[in-house]
Chains A and B, each alone.
Chain A
């Protein structure tokens, strides 16, 4: 490995490329910080996120309660940290689920000419539904739970990934090495995974980052509307929905979870933008 690295043929790795773009790097560091904060919530905060202390309710931010307390006297800072666990996990699960469906559909449409028209029309039809609308309809049909929110949002975002995968597959399909593999009698599934999918990782990664950002926003929207994750589970969206009722007395209940959403989504977008610029130079012409 060391020899390869020294020979100078090895491409600079992703992290080093990221470092050359400070905004993307900052985004990445903030994302990591948010995940660490969510994971270390019990260590960072002395409070229990569900601990009621009604005498302490609706306290403004102070040194005891950095972000104040909510209507039931719970520490808002602690709840923002714990909510991060749910919101980030749901967002990530959506990316994984959407990628599985999206990659499958995109590969089928891009690689097999006969499947292209039907799958592409299906993708068009799915994309005609605005994301939140289709998601709430699916959650309404499946039943409200965290798992079903992931399924619904996964189904909503899969077509976008499928579109990107299809477009790249159409190009890769015609490349000489795919033709060579075919001529050598390599079985189609192996070609698909080893030669096509591997070369799709760049556009896929870029798209997945943006879907991560959108999924966090969409989950917050569903939870806020009360049609997603149960209000008993703290997520940034459910916290804002509680804070809405105390807008005049205790606006901080909704300030801070909103801030957490903005920071997380913005960092993901910065990372996505950075990734796109150096992974996919064709798309970067507007920078």
Chain B
């Protein structure tokens, strides 16, 4: 087991290194001088030279790479060009709406998807199953920003239950801020529930056909106990995996949803960074999100290793 754990840690470090490399390379594929692109057409040669110096673009590529890795290891993701503050501070300032949006959407998605997925597998082929499977596929076809606008039109514009955008402005109480998250979280939660439903159903189907489920039934155990105690318990690990990975991927949904609802979160920060070509900020965001994904993946693998002694890496 220790050996497997070490193998996995080693593998994760390699992937992390590759992630940092990809993030470093992305900005280097810019045609022309990134400093000139960032400053726009009105910049003077001196401004560009100044920025090149600040970004360390005058060093050779390998040197730049080494100093970039060094910075990342020290937790220094560079300076945002437009906000004029460290990238980590910029991301941290915007973390709250994104954090709660992710948590709430995940809760909504799980509350819908777990029971629906389990029942769908249990009543496989029934009308319920067909309806649930079709609905999940339908939900996976809806662009999240469009669903957000539809909700906004109905609940905010027509009924006036919510503000159409923002996060309550400065000095808003926690309750007011959360009120602004209701529509975005429902939007994102409904759409993410599609993936989790499908996965829960598939994992349950896998387990429901296993020998121990048949054994449990033949012992005369009640159906409820068979499904919940035996089947669901065993299907839970793959389901948790998907929920964990969905959490990391929700940031992608947050980018679009935050923009729709004008939430000052990490997602909308990334969009404005892209529009302003604030490369250090884009790089920092990429690194944090991909890093979280790799980390969640790694933690799940470790959990498997602990929970299931047969697993070896």
Contact = CB atoms under 8 A, between A and B. Distances in A.
From A132, A143, A227, A247, residue with most partner B Cβ within 10 Å: A132
B293 A128 contact: yes
The bracket for how many chain B residues form the interface is 35 or more
A93 interface: no
Specify which of B11, B152, B274, B286 lies most central, judged by the most chain A CB atoms within 10 Å of its CB.
B274
Nearest to A249: B157
A71 to B, nearest CB: 15
A224 B285 CA distance: 20
A43 interface: no
A141 B27 contact: yes
Contacts of A217: 141, 143
B118 to A, nearest CB: 14
B288 to A, nearest CB: 10
Interface in A193-237: 213, 217, 220-221, 224-227, 237
Nearest to A126: B22
**Chain B interface secondary structure, helix, strand, loop or mixed?**
helix
Nearest to B23: A137
Interface of A: prevailing SS: helix
B252 A133 contact: yes
A258 B143 contact: yes
Contacts of B22: 125-126, 129
A247 B252 contact: no
Interface residues of A, number: 47
Nearest to B137: A269
Interface string B184-196: 0000000000000
B107 interface: no
Point out which of A225, A255, A262 has the most chain B C-beta atoms below 10 A from its C-beta: A225
27 contacts: A128-B290, A128-B293, A129-B22, A129-B289, A129-B290, A129-B293, A130-B252, A132-B252, A133-B251, A136-B271, A137-B26, A140-B273, A142-B30, A143-B31, A217-B141, A220-B145, A224-B143, A240-B149, A247-B152, A251-B153, A254-B149, A258-B149, A262-B143, A265-B141, A266-B138, A269-B140, A269-B141
Given A133-B289, A142-B31, A255-B150, 16 more contacts: A125-B18, A125-B294, A126-B22, A129-B293, A130-B289, A140-B274, A143-B31, A213-B141, A220-B143, A226-B275, A244-B260, A258-B142, A258-B149, A262-B141, A262-B143, A265-B140
Interface of A: 121-122, 124-126, 128-134, 136-143, 213, 217, 220-221, 224-227, 237, 240, 243-244, 247-248, 251, 254-255, 258, 261-262, 265-266, 269-270, 273, 285-286
